[in-house]
Chains A and B, each alone.
Chain A
Amino acid sequence: MSAGRDVLTARDAGLVGCRDCTRVWPAATTTCPCCGSALMSRDRRALQRVWAWWLVALICYVPANIYPMLRTSTLGSVSQDTIVGGAITLAEHGSYSVAAIILLASVVIPTLKFIAIAYLALSVARPSSARQRRQHMLYETVEYIGRWSMIDVFVVAILSALVHLGSIASIEPGPASLTFALTVVFTMISAQSFDSRLIWDQLEDEEDHARAP
């Protein structure tokens, strides 16, 4: 489907669009007169920011998986659970659906998110493919789903606030809760830094080449 073919972009029209208020202005405008945000037709330098946040997030993701997420003490015995360990414990107790939610939110989504952001950032750096629509959907999905990874951090917060029953049971947060929260925050910033307009530029550039004799 030749989606972008009949679409004129703000850049083609010699204009620059504001991503906050959807107004357009002459290309030389640097600050949006309507909402005051900085205007930039394409933010190529943003790719560096994407990679920087991506890398920091990846670094945080390592201790998030190694160190315990929570420390449970019940009647004298203390058990420490990492993210994956906690999900396994849940599954052993028969709560398969909750174990699945935790695995999905804390392992599958972050991992796929790392891969998706890297794929998008690499694919706009090497313009060739004509998969804009799918790439854009991937980007929107990453932006939408990423924040739900925070669920495990909140579960730790709730449990450690709630379960203070002296010697019978008490739960404390482990260091991984912090690094995992940071992982989610950094991947969110990384995805937000990405300029999704770059995805669509590939097609236009290719078409320009194709049209040229």
Chain B
Amino acid sequence: MVPHNDVSATAAEGLSALVVCPSCDALYRMPQISPGEDAICHRCHRVIAAPRRRAGMQIISLAAASLVFLVATLFFPFLKISAAGLHNATSVLDVVLAFTNKELALLVLFTAGCILAIPALRMGLLLYVLVPLVFDHPPRPGARSAFRLSERLKPWSMAEIFALGCAVALIKVKDLAQVDFGPAFWMFAGLVFLVLQVQRNLCSRSVWDALDQDPALARPAPVEDHRA
């Protein structure tokens, strides 16, 4: 990116032509990047914008699919254990309900939140924000707050960490008993993959630009056709 040094041009172009690096405050004129390219901060190397072709539609499909997987994950057996003729199959709901002995109730809420509630909420919020944008409707009320919340929840969505946790847990009990994957495990693996794909396609600056379209100015620029 070319550093923005000519401040006098600022007023003429309008502030919306500028972009600031959220990590280091460096100011740039929004470069012309085509879908598939990344705008990277010159000095701290943070990715500032990364528009993707047809990102809006892809994110909608991925998010909708991930919600289906998420619901399915809840109810099917996740892991099956057997030892000396005794069996136990556990679903994700059971994992969440495991911490029922009083002082660990907080941990129940936390585990449930990180692996189910927050990923579900994020995907739901993204659908709420992006569906109207992609189909050329005006944004829903509260779409801006919804998208901001979704972005802020990103580090708290821990489905992929839970997936690695499963692997460790399997090895920990392998001396104790025989453990097998249930159908929900594979759905959960699919969920993790879909959530990571959503992440890869989502360019927050592009969404903000699309949300910022003033209907009065009528600048046509759907999400996937973002020029900057």
Q: Which residue of B lies closest to A74 (CB)?
A: B176
Residues of A within 8 A of B95 (CB): 157-158, 161-162
CB distance from A10 to the nearest CB of B (A): 5
| A residues contacting the other copy or chain, number (CB 8 A) | 76
Tell whether A151 pairs with B165 under 8 Å between CB atoms, given A8-B3, A173-B107. Answer: yes
A162 touches B86 (CB 8 A): no
- Distance in Å: Cβ of B48 to nearest Cβ of chain A: 6
B21 and A22 within 8 A (CB): yes
B172 contacts A90, CB within 8 Å? yes
Does B72 interact with chain A (Cβ within 8 Å)? Answer: no
Q: Closest CB-CB distance, B38 to chain A, in whole Å?
A: 14
Q: How far apart are B210's CB and chain A's nearest CB, in angstroms? A: 11
A213 at the interface (CB under 8 A from B): no
- Nearest Cβ in chain A — how far from B118, in angstroms? 12
Please determine whether B161 and A34 come into contact, CB atoms closer than 8 angstroms: no
Q: How far is the CA of A200 from the CA of B104 in the complex (A)?
A: 42
Partner of A196, one of B18, B23, B145, B175: B23
Interface residue B40 (Cβ < 8 Å from any Cβ of A):
no
Contact of B155 with A143 in the complex, beta carbons under 8 Å: yes
Given A8-B3, A165-B86 in contact, is the A158-B169 Cβ separation under 8 Å? yes
Which of the 9-residue segments A111-119, A121-129, A175-183 touches chain B?
Answer: A175-183
CB–CB A157/B99 < 8 A = yes
Residues in B whose Cβ lies below 8 Å from that of A11 = 25
* Interface segment out of the listed B51-59, B77-85, B217-225: B77-85
Contact of B5 among A6, A143, A188 (CB under 8 A): A6
Residues of B132-168 whose CB lies within 8 A of A: 144-145, 147-148, 151-152, 155-156, 158, 161-162, 164-166, 168
Tell me if A93 is interfacial: C-beta within 8 Å of chain B. Answer: yes
Contact pick for B104, options A17, A132, A173, CB 8 Å: A173
- B25 and A165 form a contact (CB under 8 A): no
Contact bitstring B174-198, A, C-beta under 8 A = 1, else 0: 0111010000000000000000000
Query: In the complex, are the beta carbons of B79 and A162 less than 8 A apart?
Result: yes
How long is the Cα–Cα vector from A136 to B111 in the complex, in angstroms?
A: 30
A91 to chain B, nearest CB (A): 12
**Chain B contacts of A4 at CB under 8 A?**
24, 26, 43
Determine whether the beta carbon of B161 is less than 8 Å from that of A151: yes
In whole angstroms, what is the CA distance A158 to B172 when docked?
A: 11
Residues of A139-173 at the interface with B, using a CB-CB cut-off of 8 Å, are 140, 143, 147-148, 150-155, 157-166, 168-169, 171-173
Q: Does B68 contact A (CB under 8 A)?
A: no
Across the interface, do B20 and A22 meet the contact criterion of CB distance under 8 Å?
A: yes
User: In the complex, A45→B116 CA distance in Å?
Assistant: 34
A188–B155 touching, CB < 8 Å:
yes
Q: Given the known A-B contacts A22-B22, A192-B155, are A136 and B44 also in contact in the complex, defined by CB atoms under 8 Å?
A: yes
Q: Which residues of A contact B16 (CB under 8 A)?
A: 23
A160 in complex: contacting residue of B81, B98, B164, B211, CB < 8 Å? B98
Query: Which of A19, A143, A181, A200 has a CB less than 8 Å from the CB of B107?
Result: A181
Residues 1-54 of B at the A interface (beta carbon under 8 Å): 3-5, 7, 10, 15-16, 18-27, 42-44, 46, 48-49
Using CB atoms and an 8 Å cutoff, list the residues of chain B in contact with chain A.
3-5, 7, 10, 15-16, 18-27, 42-44, 46, 48-49, 79, 81, 83-84, 86, 88, 90, 94-99, 101, 103-104, 106-107, 110-111, 114-115, 144-145, 147-148, 151-152, 155-156, 158, 161-162, 164-166, 168-169, 171-173, 175-177, 179, 204-205, 208, 211-212
The 8 closest A-B pairs by CB, nearest first: A17-B20, A154-B165, A161-B98, A21-B208, A158-B169, A19-B22, A161-B95, A197-B25
A interface residues, Cβ below 8 angstroms from B: 3-4, 6-15, 17-26, 34-37, 41, 72, 74, 90, 93, 95, 98, 101-102, 132-133, 136, 140, 143, 147-148, 150-155, 157-166, 168-169, 171-173, 175, 177-178, 181-182, 185, 188, 192, 196-197, 199-201
